[in-house]
Amino acid sequence: MAKTKFKIWRGDGKGGEFEEYSTETSGGMVVLDAVHQIQAESANDLACRWNCKAGKCGSCSAEVNGMPKLMCMTRLDELPLEEGVTIEPIKTFPIIKDLVTDISWNYRAKKKIKPFKPRQPDNEDGSWTFYQEDIDRVQEFRKCIECFLCQNVCHVLREHHLEEEFIGPSALVYTAALEMHPLDTEDRLEDLKKANGIGYCNITKCCTQVCPEHITITDNAIIPLKERVVDRYYDPVARIWSKLTKRS
Amino acid sequence: MRRDTWWKVPVLVFLGLSTFIVYSTWAAFQGVHYTYGPYLSPFYSPELFGTSEHAWFGLKPNFWPGWLPFSPAFLVLWAPASFRLTCYYYRGAYYKAFWADPPSCAVSEPRKKYRGENSFPLILQNIHRYTLYLALAFMVFLSWDAIKGYFFDGGFGIGVGSLVLTVNVILLGGYTLGCHSLRHLVGGGLNRFSQSPSRQCAWKGVTCLNKKHQMWAWMSLFWVGFTDLYVRLCSMGVWTDFRIL
């Protein structure tokens, strides 16, 4: 067992600073284990949101050595421990206390998306018929655990705070799940272009890079949505073609 | 504050793209040494007007202003350049490397104002699918050039240059056919693949290439530059084009 130094941000919405702690670490430990150990040994009032410790609840998002990560999925042996480990709350959202932030904006952004609107049932018993190949693509988006690391790393929100104009990658993944669903009939393209601001995304792929569920956010959700917006608003040939073939 | 070497990738992208832009611009302005035997540099293909036997319509057109420098590359190079400029992969890469917008993920930016691709000029990135159509046409021209590269003085043969031109087409094909816009056009716009198996099949094919779009983008960029360099150095007599067959 070796002692490792941790610098953990302590404070609230009014301000705060990094405080140093030292605790014994061993192979197999994750950052969240160390935070719990520090809580138990020397900082009983350290606030930290967590739940499953298995990378599935999305609660323990933080910035470890400056990189957005789930603390429960970040192994200490993958970090340069000799330099110490810095842990701070995710930067994009308002701090409540220590490592806990107010992520409620993400749920408000999600509410801006028009809900699922299925077509009329295919069968007399009120059920629908569709095939696995129709739903395969959408299933990737259902893996989202709403950890909001993608929202946190997106520079449109993180640096420019355009929360009123842009709903962020996580909400775009949700939009893609609805928009590409084989039963859905709702039209979200106007919202995507205007109210939800998909044009603000400049495809840096940071959201994909930090996603703990390895959802290919940019390539499989955002760019296909951008292309659908292009169909409607920027491609005159596609518009004429869709009118001729009566496709929406 | 990130403590890893986050700056490495943007610096490499900056150097890689800058080197290509400088070299391709220099090569386009040369106007000479772009053919060797049956080989034609991809920077000059198709040669619409020019002095070589590859030219479609003969010598420099009369309407070309006398004061303006002329090179056959000026007439064609803008098309593949616009395809790469508006490519989804390159956009993300050069926004980081050239504009620091952002410099890297979770790294602070040097400016506060940001309009994204919502307004002029970046809203023009939405023409990417039209540049794709041009790039697909160029694939046909370059494939024809590669085939012609196997015929020396009317007879079949294989030179190292023949293989260089063929690899160029393969790599450009991997890049062009893995384009995000093409992926959307062939089937990505559908919500019910089961109703169109052929488009689903096409979408899967493009998706397969699209997964490695970054790799194809860099390999094809390097090789298209190398192909021009190969033809140029053979034409200048610096390199010898060895015949395999």
Q: What is the CB neighbour count within 10 angstroms for residue B3? A: 15
CA distance linking residue A63 with residue A89, whole number of Å: 6
Instruction: For residue A130, list chain B residues with Cβ-Cβ distance below 8 A.
Output: 192, 194
A202–B88: do the CB atoms touch at under 8 Å? Answer: no
Nearest CA in chain A to B97: A204
Query: Is residue B123, in this structure, part of any structural domain at all?
Result: yes
On whether any CB of chain A is under 8 Å from the CB of B124, the answer is: no
A204–B96: do the CB atoms touch at under 8 Å? Answer: yes
Q: B201-237, pLDDT tens digit by residue?
A: 999 999 999 999 999 999 999 999 999 999 999 999 9
Question: Are residues A124 and A28 part of one domain?
Answer: no
Nearest CA in chain A to B2: A66
Q: Which of A47, A69, A101 is the last residue of a domain?
A: A101
CA distance linking residue A156 with residue B101, whole number of Å: 10
Question: Are residues A178 and A214 part of one domain?
Answer: yes
Which ranges constitute the DSSP H helices of A3-116?
A: 31-41, 104-111
A201–B188: do the CB atoms touch at under 8 Å? Answer: no
Q: Which helix (H) or strand (E) element contains residue A101?
A: strand A100-101
User: How many domains in chain A?
Assistant: 2
Question: Are residues A196 and A183 part of one domain?
Answer: yes
Question: Are residues A210 and A119 part of one domain?
Answer: yes
Instruction: For residue A180, list chain B residues with Cβ-Cβ distance below 8 A.
Output: 191
Q: What is the CB neighbour count within 10 angstroms for residue A103? A: 21
Question: Are residues A138 and A96 part of one domain?
Answer: no
CA distance linking residue A207 with residue A215, whole number of Å: 9
CB B143 within 8 A of CB A224: no
Question: Are residues A12 and A121 part of one domain?
Answer: no
Amino acid at position A110, single letter: K
Q: Which of A101, A119, A154 is the last residue of a domain?
A: A101
Assembly ipTM: 0.94
Give the position of tokens 């946190």.
Answer: A152
Q: What is the CB neighbour count within 10 angstroms for residue A151? A: 29
CA distance linking residue B26 with residue B37, whole number of Å: 22
- pLDDT number for residue B93: 97
Residue B44 belongs to domain spanning: 8-235
Query: Is residue B1, in this structure, part of any structural domain at all?
Result: no
Question: Are residues A181 and A157 part of one domain?
Answer: yes
* CA-wise closest residue to B118 among A173, A229, A195, A193: A193
Q: A161-206, pLDDT tens digit by residue?
A: 999 999 999 999 999 999 999 999 999 999 999 999 999 999 999 9
On whether any CB of chain A is under 8 Å from the CB of B96, the answer is: yes
Amino acid at position B163, single letter: L
Query: Is residue B176, in this structure, part of any structural domain at all?
Result: yes
Question: Are residues A20 and A108 part of one domain?
Answer: no
- pLDDT number for residue A1: 73
CA distance linking residue A172 with residue A169, whole number of Å: 5
Environment class of residue A165 by beta-carbon count within 10 Å: exposed (0-12), middle (13-18) or buried (19+)?
middle
CA distance linking residue B192 with residue B75, whole number of Å: 42
On whether any CB of chain A is under 8 Å from the CB of B85, the answer is: no
Instruction: For residue B130, list chain A residues with Cβ-Cβ distance below 8 A.
Output: 235
Q: What is the signed CA dihedral for A117, A120, A122, A128, rounded to 10 degrees?
A: 20
Give the position of tokens 């609840």.
Answer: A57
Nearest CA in chain B to A205: B92
* CA-wise closest residue to A201 among B118, B197, B94: B118
CA distance linking residue A37 with residue B110, whole number of Å: 38
CA distance linking residue B21 with residue B28, whole number of Å: 10
B102–A204: do the CB atoms touch at under 8 Å? Answer: yes
Query: Is residue B3, in this structure, part of any structural domain at all?
Result: no
On whether any CB of chain A is under 8 Å from the CB of B62, the answer is: no
Phi, psi of A8 (to 5 degrees): -115, 135
CA distances from A188 to A167, A170, A180 (A): 13, 16, 11
CB–CB contacts below 8 A, A to B: 127
Nearest CA in chain A to B114: A160
CB B105 within 8 A of CB A153: yes
Flag residues of chain B having pLDDT under 70: none
Residue A76 belongs to domain spanning: 2-101
B189–A228: do the CB atoms touch at under 8 Å? Answer: yes
CA distance linking residue A33 with residue A79, whole number of Å: 14
Instruction: For residue B120, list chain A residues with Cβ-Cβ distance below 8 A.
Output: none
* CA-wise closest residue to B188 among A68, A54, A222, A11: A222
CA distance linking residue A58 with residue A37, whole number of Å: 20
Instruction: For residue A203, list chain B residues with Cβ-Cβ distance below 8 A.
Output: 88-89, 91-92, 95
**Nearest-CA distance B204 → chain A (Å):** 11
Query: Is residue B149, in this structure, part of any structural domain at all?
Result: yes
Query: Is residue B102, in this structure, part of any structural domain at all?
Result: yes
Question: Are residues A206 and A136 part of one domain?
Answer: yes
On whether any CB of chain A is under 8 Å from the CB of B1, the answer is: yes
**Nearest-CA distance B176 → chain A (Å):** 16
**Nearest-CA distance A11 → chain B (Å):** 18
On whether any CB of chain A is under 8 Å from the CB of B131, the answer is: no
B116–A200: do the CB atoms touch at under 8 Å? Answer: yes
Amino acid at position B166, single letter: T
Flag residues of chain A having pLDDT under 50: 248
CB B148 within 8 A of CB B158: no
Query: Is residue B212, in this structure, part of any structural domain at all?
Result: yes
Q: Which long-range contacts (CB under 8 A, 24 or more apart) does A116-122 make?
A: A116/A178, A116/A181, A116/A183, A116/A184, A116/A186, A117/A184, A117/A185, A117/A186, A118/A183, A118/A184, A118/A185, A119/A183, A119/A184, A119/A185
B181 → closest Cβ in A66, A181, A227: A227
Question: Are residues A231 and A144 part of one domain?
Answer: yes
CA distances from A25 to A1, A48, A75, B22 (A): 6, 19, 11, 51
- Domain with residue A191: its CATH number is 1.10.1060.10
B102–A159: do the CB atoms touch at under 8 Å? Answer: yes
Q: Which of A74, A101, A128 is the last residue of a domain?
A: A101
- Domain with residue A16: its CATH number is 3.10.20.30
A200–B114: do the CB atoms touch at under 8 Å? Answer: yes
On whether any CB of chain A is under 8 Å from the CB of B111, the answer is: no
CA distance linking residue B91 with residue B15, whole number of Å: 16
Helix, strand, coil share of chain A (percent; to 5): 40, 15, 45
* CA-wise closest residue to B159 among B37, B38, B241, B54: B241
Query: Is residue B140, in this structure, part of any structural domain at all?
Result: yes
Phi, psi of A196 (to 5 degrees): -100, -5
A202–B91: do the CB atoms touch at under 8 Å? Answer: yes
- pLDDT number for residue A247: 54
Q: A131-151, pLDDT tens digit by residue?
A: 999 999 999 999 999 999 999
**Nearest-CA distance B50 → chain A (Å):** 34
B101–A155: do the CB atoms touch at under 8 Å? Answer: yes
On whether any CB of chain A is under 8 Å from the CB of B199, the answer is: no
| 3-state SS class at A24 | strand
B96–A223: do the CB atoms touch at under 8 Å? Answer: no
User: How many domains in chain B?
Assistant: 1
* CA-wise closest residue to A144 among A111, A118, A106: A106
On whether any CB of chain A is under 8 Å from the CB of B133, the answer is: no
